């Protein structure tokens, strides 16, 4: 058949358009379906099958279509394909030469068969059984290997029954059909290969992200799981905010690509902690560094009690009555012993981080710490060093101002680390999202004191997720596991103080994300009854 230059130009244009479409498609199933549909369209084939080559040296069915029979299997819209893969080699390692698709994959050769029923090179018995069962007549076959840019065969494209556009009768696939499909198969193979390569790189990237996050969690037994749980909460909030159809966020939407970017940021939000010393991250008491220095204080008090006992014994020796055994009756000794015990009990109590330490308590620590002692070789010293006094006077928690600065610096390090990476376009905002989890909408957060106008909605999501996880975590050394109702009360107060996003908070409560998370990650005893109406700042949507 003669083909005019106009027809050739049109076919080449279609082929080029197909190539562009294949390169743009990111979904695997839609890509497979597009390849088969476009191949059928340019050859006017009634049916076809697309196979991909598996690692176990077999051809796996991806898509099966037969227009006249209404068969549509595989892909996004088709029924599941239950046929077993076609082996390329038998158990002895011999090539499967009976199957035309297997031969195309093994030999890297196209097979254009005019009539399967008269062909003697391949076994079409299965095809005949299918025809007998359905009343179909499988005639012409065009089986093309899909070879990528590295000359690796990654699959097979098979078309069945070319239809004559004028008569509607089945005809053989022409030489031009074969050339077009071979070109299309080559483009498709490259598109599949590129997509697989991109997916492999993404999997590697995701694995490295989780490796970093897990390394940070493993660094401290007291924050284990934090970097893994924050992405869970962030994803919940992103999905809920994108789905809500009422309230201020009803028009807000995030694409899958944008959600992935946010998830990456959530996984990496604490990556700067890799530089934070363990003794600061794990500081469970005010005097703890590499070890809890309360043991040193106890030792000093043992010495003071020993000295008090020695003084009492000396008084007995210098007296005119009594014996050494009567030292327990010494009133001054008893008062001194009781005073020392009370002071040590008080210091041990102050050593644990509480919610508030009054000025009176701080002054008492100063007075106790200034008690002179003379048992150091260097000469007379005070009972507590200046640094120990300063630590015991910490008003909230267990961290000193210097240690708090070290902890806070992890966000600056996170931003610095993340901004140094060469991101693709769809991940450019990872540093912004990750670096904002300690910012507050009123500008009092850190490290950059960002205001509401300077923080994107996704960045605000990470901030809420980080706070709620920290409030409900049961593995922190400086606090007990918090019940759900108390955590929501604190979060609500933060909304009232303009520290967190009000609209996201309302979605968090409205969709009961707190409960969905709690049922998966909190201890059962933490999940108490929550009265939504009593949560500060909550406005029902």
Using one digit for the tens of pLDDT, what is the confidence trace for 123-166?
A: 999 999 999 999 999 999 999 999 988 888 999 999 999 999 89
Label each residue of 295-307 as H, E or C.
Answer: HHHHHHHHHHHHH
| pLDDT of the residue at 328 | 66
Measure the CA–CA gap between 32 and 456, rounded to whole angstroms: 37
**pLDDT higher than 60, residue 6:** no
* H helix intervals, 352-456: 359-369, 386-392, 401-419, 430-435
pLDDT score, position 8 = 60
Q: Where are the alpha helices (DSSP H) in 77-140?
A: 100-107, 125-134
- What whole-number distance in Å separates Cα of residue 191 and Cα of residue 194? 5
Q: Enumerate the H helices of 25-174 as residue ranges.
A: 28-43, 100-107, 125-134
CA 520 to CA 508: how far, in whole Å? 16
With both helix axes pointing from N to C terminus, report the angle between 513-521 and 484-496 in degrees, rounded to the nearest 10. 140
Instruction: Give SS3 for 285.
Output: strand
Contact 342, 361 (CB under 8 A): no
How far, in Å, CA of 116 to CA of 119, rounded?
5
CB 481 within 8 A of CB 526: yes
Cα 482 from Cα 470, distance rounded (Å): 10
Digit-coded pLDDT (tens) for 430-483: 999 999 999 999 999 999 999 999 999 999 999 999 999 999 988 665 567 789
144 contacts 185 by C-beta, under 8 angstroms: yes
- 502 neighbors 517 (Cβ within 8 angstroms): no
Determine whether domain 220-254+428-534 maps to CATH 1.10.150.120: no
pLDDT tens track for 471-528: 998 866 556 778 999 999 999 999 999 999 999 999 999 999 999 999 999 999 999 9
Q: Which two tokens stand for residue 251?
A: 């028009």
* Residue 271 near residue 219, CB atoms below 8 Å: no
Whether residue 376 has pLDDT greater than 70? no
- Statement: residue 276 has pLDDT above 50: yes
β-sheet bridge partners, residue 79: 73
Give the burial class of 273: count Cβ atoms within 10 A of its Cβ; 0-12 exposed, 13-18 middle, 19 or more buried: buried
Three-state secondary-structure class, residue 532: helix
Residue 384 clears pLDDT 60, i.e. is over it? yes
pLDDT averaged over every residue in the chain: 87
| pTM score above 0.85 | no
Measured between alpha carbons, how far is 399 from 407 in angstroms, rounded to an integer?
9
Rg (CA), the chain: 37
Rounded to the nearest 10°, the torsion over CA 162, 168, 170, 175 is -40
Hey, which bits of 54-194 come out as E strands? 58-66, 71-74, 86-87, 111-113, 141-147, 153-163, 170-171
Please give the Cα distance from 66 to 135 (Å, whole number).
Answer: 13
At 428 the pLDDT is 95
Comparing 409 with 45, the larger pLDDT belongs to 45
* Cβ–Cβ < 8 Å for 415, 450: no
**Ranges of each domain in the chain:** 5-197, 220-254+428-534, 294-398
Q: Between the CA of residue 55 and those of 143, 150, 476, what are the distances in Å?
A: 21, 17, 46
CA dihedral 435, 240, 491, 265 (to 10 degrees): -10
Band of residue 5 on the pLDDT scale cut at 50, 70, 90: very low
Q: Yes or no: say if 140 and 157 are a contact pair by the CB < 8 Å rule.
A: no
Number of CB atoms found within 10 A of residue 200's CB: 10
CATH number 3.30.450.40 is the correct assignment for the domain at 5-197: yes
* pLDDT tens readout for residues 208-260: 998 988 888 777 766 668 889 999 999 999 999 999 999 999 999 999 999 99
Per-residue confidence (pLDDT) for residue 1, from 0 to 100: 45
Q: Could you give the 3-state DSSP secondary structure of residue 492? A: helix
Contact by Cβ (8 Å): 465, 507: no
Q: What is the pLDDT of residue 191?
A: 81
How far, in Å, CA of 43 to CA of 185, rounded?
Answer: 13
Where residue 354 falls among pLDDT bands split at 50, 70, 90?
low
- Which residues touch 256 (CB under 8 Å, ≥6 apart)? none
Side-chain half-sphere exposure of 484, counting CA atoms within 13 A: 22
Q: Which residues pair with 112 in a beta bridge?
A: 142
Q: What percent of the chain shows pLDDT beyond 70?
A: 90
Q: Give the pLDDT score at 24.
A: 65
Q: Provide mean pLDDT across the span 190-204.
A: 84
Do 287 and 392 meet the contact criterion of CB atoms below 8 Å apart? yes
Residue of 398, 288, 416, 311 lying closest to 353 (CA atoms): 398
Terminus-to-terminus CA distance in the chain, angstroms? Answer: 68
C-alpha closest to that of 165 among 293, 45, 33: 45
């Amino acid at each position: 058949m003669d083909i005019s230059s106009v027809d050739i130009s049109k076919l080449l244009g279609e082929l080029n358009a197909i190539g562009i479409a294949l390169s743009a498609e990111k979904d695997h199933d839609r890509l497979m379906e597009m390849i088969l549909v476009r191949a059928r369209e340019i050859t006017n084939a009634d049916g076809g099958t697309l196979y991909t080559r598996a690692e176990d040296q077999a051809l796996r069915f991806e898509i099966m279509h037969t227009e006249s029979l209404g068969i549509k299997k595989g892909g996004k819209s088709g029924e599941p394909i239950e046929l077993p893969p076609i082996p390329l080699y038998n158990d002895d390692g011999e090539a499967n030469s009976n199957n035309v698709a297997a031969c195309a994959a093994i030999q890297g050769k196209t097979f254009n068969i005019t009539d399967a029923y008269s062909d003697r090179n391949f076994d079409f018995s299965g095809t005949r059984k299918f025809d007998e069962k359905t009343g179909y007549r499988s005639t012409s076959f065009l089986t093309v290997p899909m070879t990528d840019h590295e000359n690796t065969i990654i699959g097979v494209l098979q078309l069945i029954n070319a239809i004559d556009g004028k008569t509607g009768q089945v005809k053989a696939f022409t030489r031009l059909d074969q050339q077009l499909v071979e070109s299309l198969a080559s483009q498709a193979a490259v598109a599949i290969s590129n997509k697989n390569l991109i997916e492999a790189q993404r999997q590697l990237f995701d694995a490295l992200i989780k490796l970093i996050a897990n390394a940070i969690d493993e660094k401290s037994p007291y924050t284990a799981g934090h970097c893994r749980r924050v992405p869970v909460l962030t994803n919940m909030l992103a999905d809920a905010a994108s789905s809500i159809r009422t309230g201020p966020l009803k028009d807000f939407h995030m694409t899958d690509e944008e959600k992935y970017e946010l998830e990456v940021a959530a996984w990496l939000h604490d990556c700067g902690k890799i530089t934070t010393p363990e003794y600061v991250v794990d500081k469970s008491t005010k005097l703890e560094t590499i070890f809890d220095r309360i043991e040193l204080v106890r030792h000093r008090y043992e010495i003071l009690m020993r000295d008090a006992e020695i003084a009492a014994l000396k008084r007995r020796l210098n007296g005119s009555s009594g014996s050494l055994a009567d030292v327990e009756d010494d009133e001054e000794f008893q008062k001194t012993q009781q005073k020392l015990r009370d002071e040590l009990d008080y210091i041990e109590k102050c050593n644990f981080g509480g919610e508030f330490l009054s000025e009176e308590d701080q002054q008492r620590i100063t007075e106790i710490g200034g008690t002179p002692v003379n048992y150091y070789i260097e000469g007379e010293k005070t009972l507590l060093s200046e640094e120990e006094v300063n630590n015991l006077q910490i008003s909230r928690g267990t961290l000193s101002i210097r240690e708090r600065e070290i902890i806070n610096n992890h966000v600056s390090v996170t931003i610095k680390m993340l901004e140094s990476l060469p991101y693709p376009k769809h991940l450019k905002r990872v540093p912004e999202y990750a670096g904002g989890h300690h910012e507050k909408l009123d500008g009092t957060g850190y490290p950059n004191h960002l205001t509401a106008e300077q923080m994107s909605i996704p960045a605000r999501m990470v901030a809420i997720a980080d706070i709620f996880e920290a409030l409900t975590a049961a593995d922190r050394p400086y606090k007990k596991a918090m019940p759900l109702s108390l955590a929501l009360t604190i979060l609500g107060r933060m909304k009232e103080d303009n520290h967190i996003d009000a609209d996201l908070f309302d979605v968090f409560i409205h969709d009961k994300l707190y409960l969905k998370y709690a049922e998966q990650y909190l201890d059962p005893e933490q999940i108490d009854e929550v009265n939504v109406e009593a949560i500060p700042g909550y406005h029902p949507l």
